[in-house]
A and B are shown apart, each in its own frame.
Chain A
Amino acid sequence: MADPYEALGVTRTATQDDIKKAYRRLAKKSHPDLHPGDKAAEARFKEIASAYDIVGDDKKRTRFDSGEIDSSGSERPPQPDQETYREHAESHPGFKYSRQWNGSGPSDDDLFAELFGAHQRMRARGSDVRYAVSVDFVEAIVGGRRRFVLPDGKALEITIPAGLKEGQTLRLRAQGEPGFGGAAAGDALVEIHINPHPTFRREGTTIRSIVPVTVAEAMAGAKVPVVTVSGEVQLTVPRGSNSGTVLRLRGKGVPSKTGHGDHLIELRVILPSHPDDEFVQTITQWEANHPYNPREMAGQKS
């Protein structure tokens, strides 16, 4: 144990008041309850306290000065059982002063509010993922359910709504990137492209197609089978139809909120592929008896 005067940084001739002041100054600097976890401060404080225990007391100081007791002669009984404030504050579960103290009493917020508050803010919905897929022409019109394997390997079951438009984007809830911190997943945004059809064309809710007929079917009238998006129907070709005659199949077009569109069929009269003598003769004779000028009829100069 060091010399108590030295420990307190005072001379042997210091007054009792000087010693007290020196003790207070040093004790404030190293009080272990004000320096938790600082072992050096704790050791320093013990030394100061036991030094002060001797020379801070008039009678003991006299005994020490006369050599009656040495620097370890602190007679303060050891207090191993007495709990210190820091032991309480550091280790007792639910220590009630262990809260931020704001002058008017304890408040509930602590480091964790900050720490996990930050995590709360980091809760984020997953990002949306964009995909593009193509569907068949008829599928886009009548709708249906189909499984797609996407470029990233993800398989998605997609319901194609009837009457889907080219480039329309479907939003599939929670099929995008997973969320962070328990937040919802993002959506998959699937842009749908429609493959062209060999015979059908689509203009809004109207479908157009060209149906070939024979000369006799056009002239005499006939019932011919035609394909629509909703299946095959018998089309009545009226007598006296011609190439370019447009027939309307009502309600056979694209479904929409305002009802089904129509399917417009343009007839195309197709002559036989190879000139046949009988056909040529008959037609030539008929034309000689019934001359007509289709270019004039079409408003063109002959």
Chain B
Amino acid sequence: MISESELVAMIALLESEPLRRWIDLGWVLPQQDNATFYFDDSDVVRVQLICELHYELQIEEDSLSVVLSLMDQLYTARRSLREVLGAIEAQPAEVQSCIGALIKSRRAEQAADISTS
């Protein structure tokens, strides 16, 4: 955990004012102790990424809120998917191959639907 001033010192492009705004917007979720914010590792990398997208790639804040929202959904879906895959891996081999065959045949069906429509 690092403090707000440590974070601002650590990231070259970062200034306090936009950081506060991002916290208000819910883009960054630091721990709050009285009026002081504390940032953990995931907050740090998140602020780094926001800085990169905003200052280097010039993604405006309006667009950035959409980008972050989609990004959070993407990572959430990937984490969930990985949990599902982990659960499938823990199944007996025949269950795994059943699931694999099912996905394969569904995909083939969908491909056939697309080509006939």
Contacts and interface: CB of A to CB of B under 8 A. Distances in A.
Interface of A: 24, 27-28, 31, 33-34, 36-37, 83-90, 92, 95-106, 110-112, 115
B28 to A, nearest CB: 9
B26 interface: yes
Contacts of A84: 45
23 contacts: A31-B52, A36-B74, A36-B78, A86-B75, A89-B42, A89-B79, A90-B82, A95-B42, A95-B79, A96-B42, A97-B46, A97-B75, A98-B72, A98-B79, A99-B76, A100-B72, A101-B26, A101-B73, A103-B65, A105-B29, A106-B72, A110-B76, A115-B84
A90 B79 contact: yes
Interface of B: 26, 29, 41-42, 45-46, 48-49, 52-53, 56-59, 65, 67-69, 71-84
Contact of B68 (A37, A101, A110): A101
- Say whether chain B's binding surface is mostly helix, strand, loop, or mixed: helix
B76 to A, nearest CB: 5
A106 B78 contact: no
Contacts, number: 84
Contact of B58 (A24, A83, A92, A112): A24
Contact of B29 (A28, A97, A100, A111): A97
Nearest to B75: A89
A110 to B, nearest CB: 5
Given A28-B59, A88-B46, A101-B73, 14 more contacts: A24-B57, A27-B57, A34-B67, A34-B71, A83-B41, A83-B45, A85-B48, A89-B75, A95-B75, A98-B75, A98-B79, A106-B29, A112-B83, A115-B84
